[in-house]
A and B are shown apart, each in its own frame.
Chain A
Amino acid sequence: MDRPLKETVYSPDSELLSFGRLLRSMLSDLLNSRELAWRLMVRNISAQYRQSLLGYAWAFLPPLFTTAIWVFLQSQKVFTVADTGMPYPVFVLTGTVLWQTFVEALNAPLQMVNESKAMLSKINFPREALILTGIGQVLFSFTIRVFILIPVYWWFEVPFQAGVLLALIGVLALIALGITIGLLLTPLGMLYQDIGRGLGFGTQALFFLTPIVYPVPQASWAETLVTLNPVTPLLQATRDWLVLGQTGHLDGFFWVCVLTLIFLFAGWILYRIAMPHLISRMSA
C-alpha cells in the first residue's frame, strides 16, 4: 500500500479533550455528508408524497386553513386586533407560513434521528447528514408555500420590493433558530419520549406568545412574554420585509441571530459527541 492509511482511534476519552481534531472532523463530515443528505432528502420527499392523493398540497393546506379560520373569526368580531400595518389576511397568512417553517425546523432534528434509529445504530455514516436532510426538507416545503403567498399578495396588491431578498435571510434565520433548539433537545429526546411530547405541546403554547395572528400586545404581561420570545423579532422582521420591504425590528433580529449562531455551534458539538452514548443506550 503506497497511500498512507488514516488511523482512527476509539477510546473512552472525551472528544472535547482534542478539540482541534473534533473541529476538523466536524467540518470534513459536514462536507462529506452533502451527497448523502441530498439522497436522503430526495428519498424522504418522494416517498412522503408517493403514498398520498393530495401530494404536495399537504405543504400549504394547513397554513391556508389556519388563516381562513382566523380571518373568519376576526371578521365576525370574535376578537379585535390592533392595527397590523397591512391587510389582516396577509398578516396572518405570512405569519402562519413563517411560523410553520420555524416549527418544522424545530422538530426536524429529533424527528430525523428517531426515524433513522435503525440506520444510526448499524451504519457509521456522517451524522451531520441527517440534520442537513432535515434543513433541506424544511426549505423544500417552504418553497412550496411561497407559491400560495404570491397570488394572495397579488390580490391584496402588496407591491414587490427589494426587501424580499432580506426576507430570505429572515427565513434562514428562523430555520437556524428552530434547528438550534431542536439540536440542543435531541440527545435528551432520543432517550426520553417526554421531550418529543413536550415539544408538540410547547409549540402550541408558543404560537400564542408569538405575534402571528395578532401584533405584539401593548403594555401588559403578555407584551413582556411576547417580546422575550426569540421567535418574535425574527418573525416580525421577516414578515415586514416580505410585505412592507423594511422593518423596525432590526436590533432584535441581529441579536437573536448572533445568539442562534453561537448556540447552533454548541448544539452541533453536543449532537456529535452524544451520539455514541445514545446509540449504546438504544441497542443495549
Chain B
Amino acid sequence: MSDDVLVKVDGVSKKFCRSLKRSLWYGVKDVGSELFGREGGHGELRKNEFWAVDDVSFELRRGECLGLIGPNGAGKSTLLKMLNGLMKPDIGTIRMRGRTGALIELGAGFNPILTARENIYVNGSVLGFTKQEIDRTFNEIVDFAEIGDFLDTPVQNFSSGMKVRLGFAIAAQMEPDVLLIDEVLAVGDAAFRSKCINSISKITNHSSVILVSHSMPAVARVCNRSICLKDGVNAFEGQTPQAILKYLDFLTVDSSLSSPDGLLKDCKLRISNKDKENWSQEITMKSGEGVDIELSFSLDTTVNDFCINIGISDGDMNPAIQIYSLRSHPAFMNNRANGSEKKISATIDNLPLKSGRFHINVYIAEVRSDYTIGRVFGSLLSAAVINVVDHYPGFAPVQLVAVWRD
C-alpha cells in the first residue's frame, strides 16, 4: 500500500436477507462460524439473500474527497458502515490507515433529558475525545452550532435542525485521517449547510473524505472523484460530473398528468430539435441549441382564457428554467363550443443548459379578465426529456455566455 493511500477497498461484497426470521437465524449461524474460526468469506447466497454491496473496489489518497452516490438502496450506507468497521464484509478486504472519523448519524448518543452542555461531553467521548480535548474545543463547538443561549436547555427541547447543528459541531472537531460522512447535510437551513460544506472542504485538505449524499450540488462542490452505485454494483467511477449524470440516468421519472377538477384531459407533449422535425418524447441536443414543442390537450367547455407555463427541471427535479406564454403571447382561447382537442406549438430558440438530463413540465392556468394568472387547471410533469450535451463540466443548471474583453 503506497504511503498516502489511506483507504483501500478490494472486491468487497456484503449480503443481506429479505426475510427477518431468516436474517436472524443467519445471524446466529454467522456468529457460530466466527466462533469456529472460519477463514475466508461466504461466497454463496443462501435462501432469500441478495448482494447489498457487490464486488466494489477503490482506493483513496490523502487530500481526496470521494462522492458515493446512487439511488436509494444502492448500498452506499452499507459500504460506509463496513469502512467504519461496524459490519464485516462477506467477501473482500478493507484496509484503513490512521484514525477514522464518521459522521453517520449526528447526535447518536444524545440523551434528550440532559442539557446541551452535558451532551457535548457525552457525545464527544462517544466519538473518542478525552475530557481535555473537549474542554479545549468547547467554545468552538458552541460557536459553530450557534446554540449559545440554549447551552443549559435539555436537548429534547431542541428543534431537529439545532440537534443536527450541535451533532455536526462536535463531530467536526475530529481530526481524522479518514472521514466518512453519510447524508448528514439534509437537515439544517441553507446557511448551516453551506457552513458544513466549507468545513468538510477544510478537513479534506489533510484527510481522505468519503461523502454519501443525494444532494448533487454538494457532491459537485466538494468531491474530486465519485462512484455511482446501483444495486450494490459500482456502475461508474470517475469524474464527479460524469458520475452525477450516471446517477441521474438511474432516476427515471414517469410522466404524470394531474388535474384536480378534471378540467384538463388528454394532454400530450412532443418535442423536436429546432427545425429538425424529429418529433419525440425524448431528444438529445447540444447546450445552447433550440427546441420546437407541440402541445395537444382538451380543456373543459367551462374554461375560458388560459396560458401555458413550461418549467424545465434538472434530473433531481429542481427547477432550472421557466417559460410563461403570457410574456410573449396573449391569452389562448379555449374551443368552448365543442371542447375538442387544442393544439399549440412553440419554439424556444436557445436553451443554455449544462450537460445532463432535463424534464419538461407543462402547467395550464386560467387567465382572468384583468390579465392576472388564476388557478391551475392541470399539469403534466416530466412530459418530455431533453438530454443536453456540453463540453464544460458545469454544476449550475443554466450556463450563460458572456462577452469577454482582455
Which A residues contact B (CB, under 8 angstroms)? 1, 5-17, 32, 35-36, 39-40, 43-44, 46-47, 50-51, 118-125, 187-188, 191-192, 270, 273-274, 276-281, 283-284
Contacts and interface: CB of A to CB of B under 8 A. Distances in A.
Given A12-B38, A270-B31, A279-B87, 18 more contacts: A5-B177, A8-B97, A11-B88, A13-B38, A16-B34, A43-B111, A50-B113, A50-B114, A118-B105, A191-B24, A191-B27, A191-B28, A273-B34, A274-B34, A277-B31, A278-B27, A279-B86, A280-B14
B288 interface: no
Nearest to B90: A12
A36 B97 contact: no
Contact of A11 (B94, B108, B128): B94
Majority DSSP secondary structure for residues of A touching B: helix
B178 to A, nearest CB: 10
Nearest to B13: A12
Contacts of A278: 27, 31
A124 B102 contact: yes
Given A122-B108, A191-B28, A51 B97 contact: no
A284 B92 CA distance: 19
Given A124-B85, A191-B28, A284-B16, A17 B97 contact: no
A123 B39 contact: no
B81 A51 contact: no
B109 A119 contact: yes
Q: Which 7 A-B pairs have the closest CB atoms?
A: A12-B41, A281-B27, A5-B98, A10-B94, A5-B97, A122-B105, A11-B93
B109 A123 contact: yes
Nearest to A46: B114
A36 B125 contact: yes
Interface in B358-394: none
A50 B115 CA distance: 12
B122 interface: yes
B93 A10 contact: yes
A118 B93 contact: no
Contact of B86 (A46, A121, A191, A273): A121
Contacts of B298: none
Contacts of B130: 35
B81 to A, nearest CB: 7
Nearest to A43: B122
Contact of B128 (A125, A192, A274, A284): A125
B33 to A, nearest CB: 7
Given A35-B131, A187-B31, A124 B100 contact: yes
Interface string B25-36: 011101101111
A109 to B, nearest CB: 15
Interface in B92-132: 92-100, 102, 104-105, 108-109, 111, 113-114, 118, 121-122, 125-128, 130-131
Contact of A14 (B38, B105, B109, B118): B38
B17 interface: yes
A280 B87 CA distance: 6
Q: Which of B86, B121, B177 has the most CB of A within 10 A?
A: B86
B108 A47 contact: no
B85 A123 contact: no
Nearest to A281: B27
B91 interface: yes
B121 A8 contact: no
Nearest to A266: B35
B88 A277 contact: yes
Nearest to B96: A8
B321 interface: no
Contacts of B89: 10-12
Given A9-B93, A11-B88, A277 B126 contact: no
Contact of A122 (B86, B94, B121, B125): B86
Interface in B206-240: none
27 contacts: A7-B95, A9-B96, A10-B94, A10-B96, A11-B88, A11-B89, A12-B42, A12-B89, A13-B40, A14-B35, A14-B36, A14-B38, A16-B37, A17-B37, A17-B39, A39-B122, A39-B126, A43-B114, A122-B86, A123-B104, A123-B108, A124-B85, A276-B85, A279-B81, A280-B16, A284-B16, A284-B23
A35 B100 CA distance: 19
B102 A123 contact: yes
B134 to A, nearest CB: 10
Given A13-B38, A278-B31, A123 B87 contact: no
B187 to A, nearest CB: 15
Nearest to A118: B108
A14 B94 CA distance: 14
